[in-house]
A and B are shown apart, each in its own frame.
Chain A
């Protein structure tokens, strides 16, 4: 079974530039999550989708971050414009259903460095 795919693996941009990350969840997984993991910290949920609808985006900085999952499968996360404090690993995860006892499977992440 293929895992959660993310690209790119690494990205370096200058502050005020824009960047986009892509995630392809495990086939059949209805729920998709984006997490931000700052160096030395645990992952923090940015946004959660159930199919193509947003379930929770309370911790997404909406003035600069946006995410979409138009067809209920792949998802993109965009930052525009980027700030130095956005340097982090962005993890995508997916699970079969949006219930609390369902395991979430994680991709390898995209490491963003803003200079």
Chain B
């Protein structure tokens, strides 16, 4: 079984400042890792994913994330945020042989202030 912990439920930040949203996971098997974004009253949209290869992955809207196997982390970063980045962000994992079940963390609300 897998579990995902997003350490911060809310992250307030000023516009144009950098941001990091933290994600740690627990799994007895190797996993694929994902970050999704959810805007108000919308479904989830994939930001980026780590499947294999380079541990630094780049996604849409200027976001990137780094997979750290030894620390079982997959933190999301953006060097300069915009007001439009205000949303809920979810980290998710799926075991290689987990029957394709995607397990989500509790989410982090990013609040970008002018």
Contact = CB atoms under 8 A, between A and B. Distances in A.
Interface residues of B, number: 29
A108 B44 CA distance: 8
A42 B92 CA distance: 9
B107 A108 contact: no
Contact of A98 (B6, B41, B51, B100): B100
Contacts of B49: 101, 103
Given A41-B107, A42-B107, A45-B101, A100 B96 contact: yes
A56 B101 contact: yes
B100 A100 contact: yes
Interface string B32-65: 1000100001111110010100000000000000
Interface string A1-37: 0001000000000000000000000000001010000
A108 B42 contact: yes
A106 B45 contact: yes
Nearest to B31: A100
Contacts of B99: 48, 55-56, 98
B97 A100 contact: yes
B32 A100 contact: yes
B25 interface: no
Interface string A56-69: 10000000000000
A91 interface: yes
Contacts of B4: 42
A107 B100 contact: no
A41 B104 CA distance: 9
A42 B96 contact: no
Nearest to B96: A100
A89 to B, nearest CB: 9
A104 B43 contact: no
25 contacts: A4-B43, A33-B102, A40-B9, A41-B106, A41-B107, A42-B104, A42-B105, A48-B101, A55-B100, A56-B99, A56-B100, A91-B43, A98-B100, A100-B98, A101-B32, A101-B49, A102-B100, A103-B49, A105-B46, A106-B43, A106-B44, A106-B45, A107-B43, A108-B42, A109-B43
